[in-house]
Amino acid sequence: MAHKALFAPASKFKPADTKNEAGGRAYAFSPEHALAQYASTGTFSQTYYAHAEEQLEKVLELVRQTDPHFVAQLAVYTREKGLMKDMPAFLTAYLAAKDVRLLASVFPRVIDNGKMLRNFVQIVRSGTVGRKSFGSAPKRLARAWFSNRKPEAIFRQSLGTAPSMADVIKMVRPSPKNEKGEVDTVREALYGYLIGKDVAHEKLPASVQAFEAFKKGAGEIPDVPFEMLTALNLDTDRWTAIAKGMSWTQLRMNLNTLLRHGVFGDPSMVSFVAAKLRDTELVRRARVFPFQLLAAFKAASHDMPSEITMALQEAMEIAIENVPEVQGKVFLCPDVSGSMQSAATGYRKGATSAVRCVDIAALVSAAFLRRNSSAQVIPFSDDVVKMPRRLNPLDSVMTNAEFLANLPSGGTACSAPLRHLNEKRAKGDLVIYVSDNMSWADFARSGGHRSTVMADEWETFRGRNPKAKLVLIDIQPYGSTQMHERDDVLNVGGFSDSVFDVIALFAKGELSADHWVGAIKNISLA
């Protein structure tokens, strides 16, 4: 008999053309797709396989290979859909050096709050994108940022350092004049106050006057961001008043702080906060990442009232409401391998997320199971990981996510779930992976094939299921995949719920051939 490895049937997939960061065979993304992957998952922090400096170098290389119009569309997508911060600010700063017309078209949409403005200024001043000085166009856009906001809003968004809002004001010199060319004395006083000048107290915005009075021990707690008050010595009554004025996001992020200061010693405050956390409209308006709710749930102190933790679980059910219901049989494949134990948003001193990649993989799988109760979950590392019990789709998303995230770990073989399904001769319509795509432990099985092992296993699966589709959700900023893009294969990156929207369109056959990149290219810059 002829040598099986040498004379195996040729795969319908093109030959693998690169190696991934783990040393495994892979397909390189196009520059556009790779940039979208980095922009939707990267935070310029160290990942399992790459340092922050390497990530920056790769992004710089990719933007130089990409049409600036797509860079502009991607900046809007990653801010409005992906809810990212550093990457869209970086892409916008790049446009400041490359194409000021495109910069003007995206600036108001991307640089939409004080933190984003400071990020933009910091990146431009670093010189990383090709210019250090603020030219006339960036300054004009920054001045417009100030003139389009009321003084009260500017004050509320003045938190932060390096650069501070004072640094930005000194640099761009926003005008205190209104549309009629008349000096707005409140705005003029605020700019002076923020850069440390002596100004007439009575000319400042009301919130600034109240804040300054409160610092001196007079008046009620002012309506300002609570972060401005935390350096002050406050009793429980004051903290209770602060809690009542917190936004939904501030509550979600500071539950342990409120517990520590005795706010939840009052049952009425427990009920108040829980009701706010589970408020459907507030959850939608907060544009919260599902994984951020998981982080709050995981971080909650053991002494946290159960009504609060239950409210977080209810908020999760709202946050994942656009997970699509898919017709047919669905297989969910969360990667629980060693590299997935790393922090989801990378390692950065003082800013490392407690949520791991495996937590997101488990969360996405649990969310899909919640909406598609007949789906089958197949966790994997270097092989399919056996679960001690079946998941109950009626359990909360939090419960199932924690169960999956705590399964045994190992190496990475992305082919394992498909091989398992092929051994069972399973029938199915949609297979969804959530992984970092760093497959390396399965190539001993590849024989003489030049494609990836996963690609070969998918061909076998498709032989039985010719209409089946495959989705690979990649949650780390790397530039390769185990399956190149085809009509039946979608590669999508990120961990915001916009990923669910793309998958829903793909499952219905409503995406163009370039799928995710095509969805980004549909963004209008008018």
Give residue-wise pLDDT tens across range 422-462.
999 999 999 999 999 999 988 766 555 578 999 999 999 99
Residue 399 lies in a domain: yes
CB atoms within 10 A of CB 53: 10
Band (pLDDT 50/70/90 cuts) for residue 499 is confident
Closest CA to 95 of 79, 117, 122, 73: 73
User: Peptide bond preceding 334: is omega within 30 degrees of 0, i.e. cis?
Assistant: no
CATH of the domain at 390: 3.40.50.410
Q: Which helix (H) or strand (E) holds 419?
A: helix 416-423
For residue 7, what pLDDT is reported? 42
Q: What domain count does the chain have?
A: 1
Band (pLDDT 50/70/90 cuts) for residue 91 is very high
223 pLDDT above the threshold of 90: no
Q: What is the pLDDT of residues 365-378, one digit of tens each?
A: 999 999 899 999 99
Least trusted range by pLDDT, from 141-145, 185-189, 393-397: 393-397
- Of residues 131 and 213, which shows the higher confidence score? 213
Its domain, for residue 402, covers 18-26+323-521
Q: What is the pLDDT of residues 100-131, one digit of tens each?
A: 999 999 999 999 999 999 999 999 999 998 87
Residue 205 lies in a domain: no
For residue 49, what pLDDT is reported? 67
Parallel, antiparallel, or unpaired: how do β-strands 469-474 and 489-493 relate?
parallel
Average pLDDT over residues 390-395: 92
Average pLDDT over residues 223-243: 88
For residue 50, what pLDDT is reported? 72
Average pLDDT over residues 519-524: 93
Residue 443 lies in a domain: yes
Residue 345 lies in a domain: yes
For residue 290, what pLDDT is reported? 84
Q: What is the mean pLDDT of the chain?
A: 90
For residue 31, what pLDDT is reported? 94
For the chain, percent of residues with pLDDT exceeding 70:
94
Contact call for residues 387 and 379 (beta carbons, < 8 A): yes
Q: What is the pLDDT of residues 293-302, one digit of tens each?
A: 988 998 899 9
Average pLDDT over residues 264-280: 97
Residue 94 lies in a domain: no
13 pLDDT above the threshold of 70: no
- Of residues 342 and 111, which shows the higher confidence score? 111
349 pLDDT above the threshold of 80: no
- Of residues 103 and 10, which shows the higher confidence score? 103
Band (pLDDT 50/70/90 cuts) for residue 231 is confident
Residue 252 lies in a domain: no
Distance of CA 487 to the CA centre of its chain: 26
Burial 433-467, CB ≥16 within 10 A → b, else e: bbbbbbbbbbbeebeebebbbbbbbbbbbbeebee
Residue with tokens 């196009």: 30
For residue 3, what pLDDT is reported? 43
φ/ψ of 295, rounded to 5, equals: -60, -45
Q: How far apart are CA 516 and CA 490, in angstroms?
A: 7
Average pLDDT over residues 125-146: 90
What the block records as the tokens of 199 is 């100004």
347 pLDDT above the threshold of 70: no
Residue 447 lies in a domain: yes
Q: How far apart are CA 176 and CA 129, in angstroms?
A: 30
Band (pLDDT 50/70/90 cuts) for residue 2 is very low
Contact call for residues 365 and 336 (beta carbons, < 8 A): no
Least trusted range by pLDDT, from 71-80, 122-131, 408-417: 122-131
Residue 364 lies in a domain: yes
Closest CA to 499 of 83, 27, 2: 83
Q: How far apart are CA 500 and CA 108, in angstroms?
A: 26
Q: What is the pLDDT of residues 156-212, one digit of tens each?
A: 999 998 899 999 999 999 999 888 888 999 999 999 999 999 999 999 999 999 999
